[in-house]
Amino acid sequence: MAYELHYWDGLQGRGEFVRLTLEQARSPYVDVARGRAEDGLGTGAMLALIESKTEPYIPFAPPFLKDGDLIVPHTANILHYLGPKLGLAPQDDRRYVVHGLQLTIADFVTEVHDTHHPIASRQYYEEQKEASKARATEFLDHRLPKFMRYFERVLTQNPRGDAHLFGDALTYVDLSMFQVIEGLRYAFPRAMKRFDAHYPRLTALHTRVAALPNIEAYLASPRRIPFNETGIFRHYPELDKALR
Amino acid sequence: MAYELHYWDGLQGRGEFVRLTLEQARSPYVDVARGRAEDGLGTGAMLALIESKTEPYIPFAPPFLKDGDLIVPHTANILHYLGPKLGLAPQDDRRYVVHGLQLTIADFVTEVHDTHHPIASRQYYEEQKEASKARATEFLDHRLPKFMRYFERVLTQNPRGDAHLFGDALTYVDLSMFQVIEGLRYAFPRAMKRFDAHYPRLTALHTRVAALPNIEAYLASPRRIPFNETGIFRHYPELDKALR
C-alpha cells in the first residue's frame, strides 16, 4: 500500500522534506490534501483525521504519514521512520545520529518561520512586521551563521568524507539540507549572495543533490509546488540583508 | 557502562525530561556538567565534546546522551533511544507514535522558551520585554490552550484508558507531561489557577506521576535542581495572566 502523506495543499512547508525523500526513493505515495474530494482525498480528508473523535493516534498538526493503521507525525519522525525502509538512513543505532541532524534542521526551520511570525503564528505577517524585522536581523546576523557553521563542520569532520552529512552515502538529511539552502536562497537572496564563500561544502552538497536524477525530475515536475508567501521560506525584501 | 547525560549545570531546562526518565527507571547515569573537573567531568568536559575538531557525531547543543561511542542529541531523540531499553516505551513501531507525542511537547517547550525570548535567545529577557509581553499573551490566550486541549484529547481518546498518554502503561511521555505542567505552574501561577478545571485528565496524570515512588524520591533529592530564571520555565509575574 502506498504511503499517505498528509500536509497542507498549496505550499512546500514542512511536508516538502518528506516529499523529497519519497521522490528520491521513487516510493509510491499519495499526497492526500492535494487529491480530489471525489476520490476520498483533499484537505477535508486530512482534517477529518486531525479532528477525529475516535482515532487513537491523533496528530497535533500536519505533516503526518499514514502507513496502514500507524500514524507517524512530525517531519523528522517521518523521515526517521522511512529512512531505513527507503535506503536513505543506516539500519543500526547510527540512525539516531542522522535523526539528531534532522532535528537540528527542524529547529532551524522553526527559526526561519519565526522570522516572519515572531509573535503569533495565528496572525498575518503584516500584523507583526516590527518584531519580524528585529527577529530576522537576529536570525541573519547570528542564528543562520551559528547553524550553518555547525553543518559545515559536520561535513568537514565526517570521517567518510565531506560529500555527505553522514557516512559515505546519501541520507535524507542531505536532501533536507538541499531544501534548506534552496529555501534560504528564495527567502533571503541578499544574505545568500556570499553563502558559498562562507559555506563551500554545504554549497557543493546543495549542487550535488540538485543534480540527482530523481530530484532533478521531481523539481521539474508539477508535483513541486513553487515557493510562495504561505510557506516557511517567504521572500519579504524588507527582512533581507547581507550576511555580516 | 552508565549513560552520560550532557546538559548545562544549574538549570532543569531540556535536560530535565531526560533526568526524569533515567530516574524513574533507576538507570545509572552521570550528569556530566554537574561533576567535578578533577574527575574529568564538569561543563568543560561537555563543551570539549561540542567543540571537538575530531568527533564525527558532534552535537549542535545540549542536551545530548553519550552511550559508548554513540552520541544521541536532542531531548526527544534521547528519550526515543532510551525508552524501549528502559521499559518506558513500546518496542514495536508504536514507539514512533510515542516519539511524535514527545516532539509535540518539544515544540511546546520551545514556545514556552520564546515567551521570554521572542527576538534573540542570545540576549537577556530584559532586552526584549515588550515583545515578550506580546508573545506571552498570545501563548496564554491561544497556544497553551491549543496544545493542552490536544493532549487532553489524547488522554480521552486513548483506547486503553485515560491514565496514560499512550497505551496502558507508563511511558516517558507521561513523565514529560508531568514536567510541563510542573513548569507551567512555576512560571504562570495565575494562568494555572483554572488549569485543573479545563484539563482534568492532564491534572490527574500530573498527580499520579508526582506520586510514583522513584519520581517522588528524585524530586526530594538534591539531584532535582529548583526552577529558576535561567531555565525554560521562568516566573516573570508581568508575563503571567489568567487563562481566558
Say if the Cβ atoms of A93 and B114 lie within 8 Å: no
pLDDT of A54:
93
Are both A46 and A152 inside the same structural domain? no
Task: Find the mean pLDDT for residues A4-21.
Answer: 98
CB A64 within 8 Å of CB A78? yes
Domain that holds residue A104: 95-239
The CA-based diameter of chain A, rounded to the nearest angstrom, is 53
Residue B95 has pLDDT above 80, yes or no: yes
B222 in any annotated domain: yes
Are both B66 and B100 inside the same structural domain? no
Q: B141-166, pLDDT tens digit by residue?
A: 999 999 999 999 999 999 999 999 99
Task: Find the mean pLDDT for residues A19-41.
Answer: 97
Q: Which of A85, A116, A133 is the last residue of a domain?
A: A85
pLDDT of B64:
98
Task: Chain A: give the shortest CA distance to residue B194, in Å.
Answer: 23
Residue A140 has pLDDT above 80, yes or no: yes
pLDDT of B129:
97
Are both A7 and A111 inside the same structural domain? no
Residue B217 has pLDDT above 80, yes or no: yes
Task: Give residue B80's region: left, alpha or beta (phi > 0; psi -120 to 50).
Answer: alpha
> Chain A residue closest to B158 (CA)?
A56
Rounded distance between C-alpha atoms, residue B164 and residue A221, angstroms: 45
Q: How does the average pLDDT of chain A come out, rounded?
A: 97
Residue B114 has pLDDT above 80, yes or no: yes
Are both B216 and B119 inside the same structural domain? yes
Whose grid coordinates read 514512533?
B96
Of A164, A173, A143, nearest in space to A244 by CA: A143
User: Distance between the two ends of chain B, CA-based, in angstroms?
Assistant: 50
Task: Find the mean pLDDT for residues A57-78.
Answer: 97
Rounded distance between C-alpha atoms, residue A175 and residue A179, angstroms: 6
Whose grid coordinates read 547553524?
A147
User: Percent of chain B at pLDDT above 70?
Assistant: 100
Say if the Cβ atoms of B56 and A122 lie within 8 Å: no
Rounded distance between C-alpha atoms, residue A215 and residue A202, angstroms: 17
Using CA atoms, how far residue B38 sits from B42, B45, B65, B67, in Å, is: 9, 11, 21, 22
Are both B104 and B202 inside the same structural domain? yes
Write out chain A residues lying below 8 Å of B131, CB-based.
118-119, 131, 134
Are both B231 and B164 inside the same structural domain? yes
Of A16, A63, A33, A4, nearest in space to A172 by CA: A16
B220 in any annotated domain: yes
Which residues have C-beta within 8 Å of that of residue A40, sequence separation ≥ 6?
none
pLDDT of B234:
98
> Chain A residue closest to B95 (CA)?
A72
CA A127, A130, A132, A135 dihedral sign is negative
Three cell numbers, residue A237: 525584501
Tell me if ipTM is over 0.85: yes
Q: Which of A57, A85, A113 is the last residue of a domain?
A: A85
> Chain B residue closest to A105 (CA)?
B60
Are both A66 and A147 inside the same structural domain? no
Measured in degrees and rounded to the nearest 5, phi and psi for residue A71 equal -115, 120
pLDDT of B133:
98
Residue B14 has pLDDT above 90, yes or no: yes
Residue A176 has pLDDT above 80, yes or no: yes
